Amino acid sequence: MNHYQIEVRVTPRPGLLDPEGKAIDHALASLGYEGVGGVRVGKVIVIELEAASEEQARERAEEMCRKLLANPVTEDFAVEVAPADPAGAGARGSER
Amino acid sequence: MKVAVITFPGSNCDYDCYHALKLVDGIEPGFRWHRETQLGEVDAVILPGGFSYGDYLRAGAIARFSPIMEEVVRFAGGGGPVLGICNGFQVLCEAGLLPGALTRNTTLRFMSHEVHIRVENAGTIFTSRYETGQVLRVPIAHGEGNYQADQATLAELEGDGRIVFRYSTPGGELTPEANPNGSAHHIAGIVNEQGNVLGMMPHPERAMEGLLGSCDGRGVFESLAEALATPAAGAGLE
């Protein structure tokens, strides 16, 4: 099994009002930042995952998103997969 | 009639619901813990308000995977009446028993005060004791009560009379000020297609006694008791 670090980014779907993003948008404007717009607030979920391959890790992470991590009605998700080596040494995809 | 109140870790309106049910003739309430895998012999289920699992991830997102929820989904699928109040509504949406989602209030604040809601459909098993158009005074207490769904879903809810309650003025008007959380179409409560699952953000169980400000919530529980007492219980929308 290989170790992967999964980073899931969950963001409010376009078109859906994001009151938190709007409040930050206003705050930035009141601080004098010009040209700011379209502020959206989401969350990042970091997961350590053991999987046979990068493809399998991605598949499983995407399934987790569909089942639990994101609400398809209001949120979009993006998954990033990177090899992780808990020992801190070794090459990409090393066996443990 | 036996009505089960589900307690999740973080539920805080379970005893209020229990108390409200006790006030209604013919109803025998009982609790079910989220870890239980059997509902047992029950005629209706209530998912109470609160902060199940600390509202972590999204309100209701983790509670829906509780062992007891499998039973609740099965019970609802068989036509059993299920009422979700506040966090219970959020759990029902997350569980897919009701469409749409409850998102952050547009005010970004936790809103805890009385509101007025207009009964939009008195033909459900939860609202038969009301008149369509009647305005109720009931409290809300939530941070994520902003109901959102895609346009097609909203049109379906509108067309099928599945919007049961809308936030309104005391006179029954739908002004923007009367909508406390920004809900689409002023939605405060909806039923599923079969009419046996109701989700609502306001707390009828906190409006049961005049001494505490309002009796307007009683009708929800009395309607349910009436429906359960009739042989055709579980029948949906009219």
Tens of pLDDT, residues A15-37: 888 989 999 999 999 999 999 99
Mean pLDDT computed over B27-50: 96
What pLDDT score does B6 carry?
98
Name which of A8-17, B134-143, B217-226 the model is least confident about: A8-17
ipTM: 0.81
Question: What pLDDT, on a 0 to 100 scale, did the predictor assign at position A17?
Answer: 84
- For the question of residue B113 being annotated catalytic, the response is no
Q: With an 8 Å Cβ cutoff, are B93 and A23 in contact?
A: no
pLDDT digits (tens, 9 = 90+) for B69-97: 999 999 999 999 999 999 999 999 999 99
Q: Does B116 participate in catalysis according to the annotation?
A: no
Residues of B in contact with A71 (CB under 8 A): 58, 61, 94, 101
Share of chain B above pLDDT 90, in %: 95
pLDDT at A88 over 60: no
B106-155 pLDDT tens trace: 999 999 999 999 999 999 999 999 999 999 999 999 999 999 999 999 99
How far does the CA of residue A70 sit from the closest CA of chain B (Å)? 9
Please say whether the beta carbons of B186 and B119 come within 8 A: no
A20: nearest CA partner in chain B: B108
Looking at residue A86, what is its pLDDT? 61
User: Is the predicted pLDDT of residue B236 greater than 70, yes or no?
Assistant: no
d(C-alpha B143, C-alpha B136), whole Å: 21
Alpha-carbon gap, residue B97 to B72, rounded angstroms: 10
Annotated catalytic residue, options B34, B116, B186, B203? B203
Long-range contacts of B150-156 (CB under 8 A, 24+ apart): B150/A73, B153/B99, B153/B100, B154/B184, B154/B185, B156/B99
Residue B238 confidence (pLDDT) = 43
Closest residue on chain B to A74 (Cα): B101
Tell me if A23 and B100 make a contact (CB, 8 A cut-off): no
Provide the pLDDT for residue A16. 85
Please give the mean pLDDT across all residues of chain B: 95
Which residue in A71, A75, A76 has the most chain B C-beta atoms within 10 A of its own C-beta, making it the best mutation to test that interface?
A71
Residue B230 is predicted with a pLDDT of 86
Q: Whose CA is closest to B163, among B127, B115, B110, B205? A: B127
Distances (CA, A) of B47 to A29, B3, B51, B61, B73: 42, 11, 12, 14, 12
Of B108 and B98, more confident: B98
Q: Is B86 a catalytic residue?
A: yes
Tokens for B28, please give them.
């025998």
Partners of B173 in the β-ladder: none
Distance from CA of A15 to the nearest CA of B (A): 10
